[in-house]
Structure 1
Amino acid sequence: MDGKLAVIGLGSIGSMALWQASRLTGSVVGFEAQSPGHARSAVGGDTRLFRMLYRGRRDYYPILQRSRRLWAELEAESGQDILTRCGGLSIGTVEGPYISALLETTRINGAEHEILSRDAMAERYPQHNLRPDDCAVFDPHAGALRTDRAVTAAVAAAQANGATVVTDTPIASILETEDGVVLTSRDKTWTFENVIVASGGWSQRLMPDYLKAATETRRIFLSWFVAKDAAEFSPEKFPVFIRISGDRSMYGAPSVDGVTVKATLDGRGAPTPAPDTVARSLTPAEIAETTDTVLEFFPGLFPNIVRSDAFPDLYTKDGNPLLGHPAETRRIYCATGFSGAGFKMASGYGEIAANEALGKRSFAGLDFVRPGRFKTR
């Protein structure tokens, strides 16, 4: 045996699983095809939104609560600012489907929030140009997660706890045996008692066929704009936001470099043939829709994209992650398929994956993420 646990992929979820596993055993190895936090994975793009207000499944709320505490623990261990606590805004049509669904879930969970009218928004957050029938819901615990810092800090913390990290080593295949799981990369093999597959858009090749059929790699693109007055878009004055107003939708984060502001179209992930072939440049249609939306939503931004990029991520058919052992395995654990919405809960997901893969603890109430839901007879 080369160890008790291998974590394949040290990106958003894998880095956190490695960190959490290193707290449970001194015999864990992380494998990364490139290097932790590399710019071509779903980690790229500087920031991701953290928010406690979530529409739809109430089951995410306990994971968000735990993730919030774990982000603070990672900051304490690393000494780095990982979660910039600036609050968050959910903006949409009054009594429209987005705000109604968000408030329904929020009230069920009892999450702290404040409803802001259009007039209140104009006074507190004049950076946003709301439509006459828009309102906002403020989340005081939201913020911007610094993705590259989070991943590198988690990997460094794991190494400080005794974990081993193997970089520039793509895993081509995994094979479960009676005694363990055999990993193959080029002409080298390793055997571990258990394995976590957390390689995002690159996870499909390591999956059983029924999970391959239930997932697809999609391209996510991001865009940034220059502020006319950068101080007005600083974390102290400009919370993270998600806006779904009629036919337009956008999300973004405050300026973390003192110059540019992330403002990106929401829900535009499109299927891509392979994670290695994602088109990094935006299409003319993507540019036009993005700039038109910014022109309406943010009069304080110059409506010209000054930076853009695109990244791969693995999506499931129902938009919920794959977290658990596939039905036919007991040593291979899936922690992938987070469908463009995993980073906010990555620390919590990593804790669940590490504990369950090592057999230390199981978690109830997670049937909606278990891989077996896609298994048919």
Structure 2
Amino acid sequence: MDGKLAVIGLGSIGSMALWQASRLSDSVVGFEAHTPAHGRSAVGGDTRLFRMIYRGSPAQYPILERSRDLWAELEAETGQDILTRCGGLSMGTTDGPYLRSILETARINGAAHQILSREEMAERYPQHNLRADDSAVFDPNAGVLRTDRAVTAGIAAAQANGATVLGNTPVTSIRETNDGVVVSSGDTSWTFENVIVASGGWSRRLMPDYLKPHTETRRVFLSWFVARDAAQFTPEKFPTFNRMYEDRSMYGAPAVDGVTVKATLDGRGTVTTDPDAFPRELSAAEIADTLGTVTEFLPGLVPSIVRSDAFPDLYTEDRNPLLGWFGGSSRIYCATGFSGGGFKNATGFGHIAAYEALGKQSLDGLEFVRPERFRTS
């Protein structure tokens, strides 16, 4: 054996699984096809939203709570500022399905929140141009995560605990034997007791056939704007936001660099057959749609995209993650398919994956993420 556990892919989930596994074992190896936090992975784009109120997924609340605590632990362990707690806004039509779902989830979970009328929003957060029948739900525990900093901190913490990291080592195959799992990169192979597949948009290459029809790699794009008055878009004055109105939807983050504000269309991912080859530039239609939305929603931003990029991520057909063993007797555990929404829970899901893959704990109440849900009889 070359180790008790291999983690394939050291992005958002893989880096945190490696960190958590390194707390449990001194025989853990992480494989990364490029370098940690490289610019082509779903980690790219500087920031991701963290929020405790996540519509339609009350089962995720305990994981969100654990994730919040673990982000704080990672900050304390590494001395890095990763989660900026600036609050978060969910905006939409007052009696519309989006806010109803947000409020229902908040009430089921007992999550702290505050309802803000259009008039209260105009006073507290005038950056948002709300319609006459709009209102908002404020999540005081929300914030913004620094993605590159988080991943590199998680990997550094794992290495400090004794984990081995093999960068620029793309895994070309994994094969189960009677004794373990053979991991190959080109002509070189290693054998481990168990393996976690956490390679995001590249995970389909290592999946069993029964899962492939239920997953797809999608291209997700991001865009940034310059504020007319940057002082109005700092984390202290401009919380993260999600806004949905009929066919328009946008989410974003404050100017953590003091200059640019992330404001991106929501739910616009398109299927890509190759995570290594897809357009990084926005199309004319994507640019026009983005500019039209930001002009209406955020008039304090100059309506010109100053930066944009696109990244691959693995989506499942029900938009819930894949977290669990590939099969009943399998030694291969997957932590992937987070469908564009995994970063907020990366520490929590990484914790679950590490503990289960190392046989330290098996958790109940996670049927909604188990791969077995897609296996047909």
* Shared fold (TM-score, shorter chain, > 0.5): yes
Q: Distance in 2 between matches of 1:326 and 1:207?
A: 8
What one-letter code is carried by the residue in structure 2 that aligns with 1:153?
A
Q: Which deviations, in whole Å up to 9, do the C-alpha atoms of 1:290-339 show, x marking residues without a partner? A: 00111001111000000000000000010000000022542100000000
In structure 1, the residue corresponding to 2:276 is in which secondary structure? helix
Q: What do the CA deviations read for 1:255-310 (whole angstroms, capped 9, x no partner)?
A: 01111000000011110111001210000000000001110011110000000000
1:355 equivalent in structure 2:
355
1:240 Cα deviation after fit: 0.3
Question: Could you tell me which residue of structure 2 aligns to residue 374 of structure 1?
Answer: 374
Aligned runs of 1:1-377 on 2, under 5 Å? 1-377=1-377
Letter in 2 for 1:190: W
> Within 2, Cα distance between the matches of 1:259 and 1:266?
22
> 2: distance between equivalents of 1:313 and 1:278?
12
Conserved 8 A contact 1:115-1:138: yes
Please give the secondary structure, in 2, of the residue aligned with 1:56.
coil
Amino acid at match of 2:76: A
Q: Output the CA distance in 2 between the equivalents of 1:98 and 1:313.
A: 24
Equivalenced residue count is 377
Whole-Å Cα distance in 2 between the matches of residues 283 and 290 of structure 1?
11
Residues 327, 375 of structure 1: 8 Å contact kept: no
Secondary structure class of the residue paired with 2:210: helix
Amino acid at match of 2:115: I
SS class of match (2:41): coil
Secondary structure in 1 matching 2:351: helix
The CA distance in 1 between the partners of 2:284 and 2:240, in whole Å, is 26
Aligned residue for 1:275, secondary structure, equals coil
Separation in 2, partners of 1:304, 1:336: 34
Assess if the C-alpha contact under 8 Å between 1:325 and 1:333 holds in 2. yes
Give the percent of matched residue pairs that are identical in Structure 1 and Structure 2.
75
What amino acid is the match of 1:39? G
CA positional deviation for 1:245 = 1.7
Q: TM-score, with normalisation over the residues of structure 2?
A: 0.99
Counterpart contact for 1:10–1:31, Cα < 8 Å: yes
How big is the shift at 1:176?
0.7
* Aligned partner of residue 20 in structure 2, secondary structure: helix
Amino acid at match of 1:47: T
Amino acid in the other structure paired with 1:172: T
Q: C-alpha distance in 2, partners of 1:22/1:328?
A: 25
Residue 276 of structure 1 aligns to a residue whose secondary structure is: coil
Whole-angstrom distance in 2 between the partners of 1:272 and 1:106: 34
Residues 190-215 of structure 1: CA deviation (Å, up to 9, x unaligned): 00000000000011111000111110
User: CA separation in 1, counterparts of 2:198 and 2:212?
Assistant: 14
Cα distance between partner residues in 2 of 1:212 and 1:2: 29
**3-state DSSP class of the match of 1:36?**
coil
AA in 2 matched with 1:145 = L
Look up the equivalent residue of 1:31 and give its one-letter code: F
Displacement after TM superposition at 1:17 (Å) = 0.1
Separation in 2, partners of 1:39, 1:255: 20
Counterpart-to-counterpart distance in 2, 1:299 and 1:322:
39
Q: CA deviation at 1:185?
A: 0.5
1:80-110 residue CA offsets vs partner (Å, 9 max, x unmatched)? 1100110000000011000001101110100
Tell me the distance in 2 between the aligned counterparts of 1:102 and 1:299.
25
Structure 2 counterpart SS, 1:10? coil
Consecutive unaligned residues in structure 2, runs of 5 or more: none
TM-score of the two chains, using structure 1 as the length reference: 0.99
Q: Structure 1: state its 5+ residue gaps.
A: none
Contact 1:176 1:329 (C-alpha < 8 Å) held by counterparts = no
- Structure 1 residue 13: Cα displacement: 0.2
Distance 2:78 2:89 in 1: 28
C-alpha separation between the residues in 1 aligned to 2:114 and 2:278? 39
Q: 2-side partners of 1:32 and 1:212: how far apart?
A: 22
Which amino acid is 1:243 matched to?
R
Alpha carbons 1:143, 1:240 under 8 Å: kept? yes
Tell me, yes or no, if the aligned pair for 1:8 and 1:199 is still in contact at 8 Å: yes
Structure 1 segments of 4 or more deviating over 3 A? none
